[in-house]
Structure formats: C-alpha cells, structure tokens
C-alpha cells in the first residue's frame, strides 16, 4: 500500500516507518506542526522561549534526518489553527469550568486522525500510519482497536475518541513490539538523530511546560484559600482553583502543620466559583474515594456495548484496569458502577472502556459519586 506516516522527529515513528518499508509498503513521511509559541502567547512556563530554535523546528530537523536515512520523502503540514480551535480552546474552557481535560485524546481525534487523514486521501495514499503503541484487528467486516503487546506503553487510552472508519484507515506498526526493541532497531539502523532521544512528554504538540505558569498565559491568576475539608480551616493559599486537579499532591505549598505533613495533603474538591481548593490529609482518605461516575461525550469505536455489561476501565493513562458495570442513562450518557471504591476519579478526564484486549471507546467523566 501507499502509506503516509506521521513522522514526529521521535524514535517511535522513525522505527514504525522502517517496519512499514520492511513489509514492502510505499512509504512517505509527514511532519505536523500544530503549535506556534510566539503567535499563541506561550511565554510563561515555557522553558524554551529563549532558545535559538523552537522545539518544533528541532523535531523537524530530526524527522528530516530520519527520512534521509530511510530514503523516504518527507512532507510537511501545519494545523496550527485547527489545533487551537479544536484542541487548545477546549482545554482552556475545561480548566475555566474547574475540570481537568486530557488534550492528547482530542489531538488524536481532531488532528492526527482528522485533517491528517483528509490530507493523506487527497494525496492518493491508501492508509496513514502512526508510531502509537496499539493494534488494529479486522474481523467479520468490522475494525477493532486493541491494546498493544507492550502493555507499559499501550496508548489506546489516547485513541478512545477516534471512529471505526479512522481506525480502519490507519496502520500501527508498533503493535507487536516493545519499547526496548524499538530502541534496539533504531541503533541498528544508526538513526542518530532519534535513537537515544528522550520520549516526548507534556501537552500534545506543545511539550513540557511549568503547567500552572503556562495556564496563566490564558487564564488570569486569582488568589484564593486552601481549606482542610475535615476542619474547614484555612491552611494555605493558591493562585487559582482551576490550576489544580483531584488527587494532586505536589505544588500545593502547604507545610508546617504538625502530625499531618508526613501523610501529605491531597486535593479532594474544587469550588471554582468561590475559588476554594479543598484538601485532606493522607492518600487513603475517604474524600478521594468514589463508588461510580457518569460519562458523557461517548464514542464507541466498533459498536455500542449492551446494558449492564461488565468491562474494565482506565481513568488515567497507565493506570491499572478497574472493573465497572455500564448502565445507559441517556442518549449520550452512561453511569459506571465501580466494583470497588476507586481513588481520585476526576471530572473532565477520560473514562476508557475495555472488553479484554479490545478498546470499546469511552467518554469524559462528568459527575463523580463520592462519599461526601
């Protein structure tokens, strides 16, 4: 097939391109640039703002070097406006409402598997490919998304909002390989620009940031109180309730309270209207626990599961699977009843559902049923 692979300037997509060539495909690479720090006012919290070259251009140079070694053409597209309109604006709206979004999920839905697929089709490609750790399975006229062989790197959580049609147009060359072998292949090929390159972290296409400072570029800081939910006493101050997430421990700036410091303080509730962050002491405190949640913005990849089906769920990337039962409470809403009490379930985060190895899809956590 004629395949267009998203070549990011990282080791995963580079080795994925090589594996496609090894299988005999006609491969071209394409580098996507979706963030412009200067145009988007990305100053506070940006550790690279004064660098002579922005990280995206450095990544592009690495992708060029990979394409040269592999002997493939490298195209380039910019989706800066699309990213701002469909991914970043959503992130800001969610934080302003006091929720904790996961932009990587919508980056896949609206960029990597949206206009990128349209671009590939318009240029005569039969499929796109990505360096994601995931598998595709075609059976009885349906396409399914499956967990990858390397469970530590499995990225189906971030692909939970894409459609069956999008999955069916994509190849995942890294589905049956682990990260150690990816590095090994990169060394064997002497892909010097990426073989020892650190994996990208931070926000999709933006990169690592001091996140609280980064958000100040777009949401003004507003000083408020940090309150012990048990005693209702003020034990500290924060710069904006929207900057914090349920279960957060680091960066609270609370100290000097005898007996409770060793246990640590955890964010258990936020009141954005009153600008109050509520905390409790200890990672096993009852205020972090919940017995269920509702999920909206549903996306089922290969068919809707039946009412009352028991499945596994991930509420955060790399979190262990947790047993839940699905109940439909509306056209675009389900309730998940938990097998046990689960900790730090956070509105705005994704609930991704699995039937064994198959990723069914999922949605966004709306309401969490707590004990207070």
- Does domain 287-370 match CATH 2.40.30.10? yes
Query: Does 261 have pLDDT greater than 80?
Result: no
Catalytic residue, from 107, 170, 293, 359: name it: 107
Q: State what percent of residues in the chain have pLDDT above 90.
A: 85
- Residue 323 pLDDT class (50, 70, 90 cuts): very high
Instruction: State whether the Cα torsion 210-216-219-223 is positive or negative.
Output: positive
- Note whether 145 and 157 are within 8 A (CB): no
DSSP state of 259: T
- Residue 246 pLDDT class (50, 70, 90 cuts): very high
Catalytic residue, from 54, 170, 204, 359: name it: 204
Please indicate, yes or no, whether the overall pTM of this predicted structure exceeds 0.85.
yes
Q: Is 204 a catalytic residue?
A: yes
When the candidates are 2.30.30.280, 2.40.340.10, 3.30.1330.60, 1.10.287.3510, the CATH number that belongs to 220-283 is: 2.30.30.280
DSSP state of 313: E
pLDDT 10s digits, 120-160: 999 999 999 999 999 999 999 999 999 999 999 999 999 99
Structure tokens, 229 = 């939910």
Tell me the sheet residues that pair with 312: 323, 354
Query: Does 259 have pLDDT greater than 60?
Result: no
- Residue 253 pLDDT class (50, 70, 90 cuts): confident
pLDDT averaged over the chain? 94
- Note whether 126 and 2 are within 8 A (CB): yes
pLDDT 10s digits, 33-55: 999 998 999 999 998 888 878 88
- Residue 258 pLDDT class (50, 70, 90 cuts): low
Q: Is 107 a catalytic residue?
A: yes
Q: What is the pLDDT of residue 371?
A: 86
- Residue 351 pLDDT class (50, 70, 90 cuts): very high
Structure tokens, 223 = 């000083």
Q: What is the pLDDT of residue 206?
A: 87
Q: So what's the architecture of 2-212 in CATH?
A: 3-Layer(aba) Sandwich (3.40)
> Domain boundaries in the chain?
2-212, 220-283, 287-370
């Amino acid at each position: 097939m004629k395949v267009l692979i998203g070549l990011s300037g990282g080791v995963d997509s580079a080795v994925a391109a090589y594996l496609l060539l090894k299988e005999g495909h006609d491969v071209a690479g394409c580098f996507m640039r979706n963030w412009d720090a200067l145009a988007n006012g990305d100053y506070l919290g940006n550790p690279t703002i004064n660098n002579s070259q922005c990280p995206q251009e450095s990544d592009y140079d690495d992708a060029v070097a990979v394409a040269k070694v592999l002997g493939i053409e490298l195209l380039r597209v910019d989706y800066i406006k699309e990213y701002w309109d469909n991914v970043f604006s959503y992130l800001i709206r969610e934080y302003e409402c006091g929720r904790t979004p996961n932009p990587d999920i919508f980056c896949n839905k609206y960029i990597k598997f949206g206009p990128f697929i349209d671009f590939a089709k318009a240029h005569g490609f039969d499929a796109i490919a990505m360096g994601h750790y995931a598998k595709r399975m075609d059976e009885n006229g349906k396409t399914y998304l499956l967990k990858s062989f390397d469970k530590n790197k499995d990225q189906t959580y971030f692909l939970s909002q894409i459609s069956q049609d999008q999955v069916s147009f994509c190849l995942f060359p890294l589905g049956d390989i682990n990260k150690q072998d990816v590095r090994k292949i990169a060394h064997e090929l002497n892909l010097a620009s990426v073989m020892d390159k650190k994996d990208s972290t931070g926000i999709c296409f933006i990169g690592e940031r001091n996140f609280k400072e980064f958000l100040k570029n777009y949401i003004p800081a507003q000083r408020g109180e940090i309150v012990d939910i048990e005693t209702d006493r003020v034990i500290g101050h924060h710069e904006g309730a929207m900057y914090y997430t349920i279960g957060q421990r680091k960066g609270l700036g609370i100290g000097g309270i005898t007996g409770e410091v060793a246990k640590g303080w955890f964010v258990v509730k936020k009141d954005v209207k009153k600008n109050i962050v509520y905390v409790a002491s200890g990672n096993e405190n009852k205020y972090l626990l919940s017995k269920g949640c509702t999920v909206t913005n549903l996306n089922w990849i290969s068919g809707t599961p039946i009412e009352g089906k028991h499945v596994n769920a991930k509420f955060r990337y790399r979190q262990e699977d947790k047993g839940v039962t699905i109940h439909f409470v509306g056209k675009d809403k389900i309730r998940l009843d938990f097998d046990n009490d689960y900790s730090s379930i956070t509105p705005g985060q994704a609930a991704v559902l699995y039937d064994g190895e198959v990723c069914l899809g999922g949605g966004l956590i709306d309401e969490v049923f707590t004990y207070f």
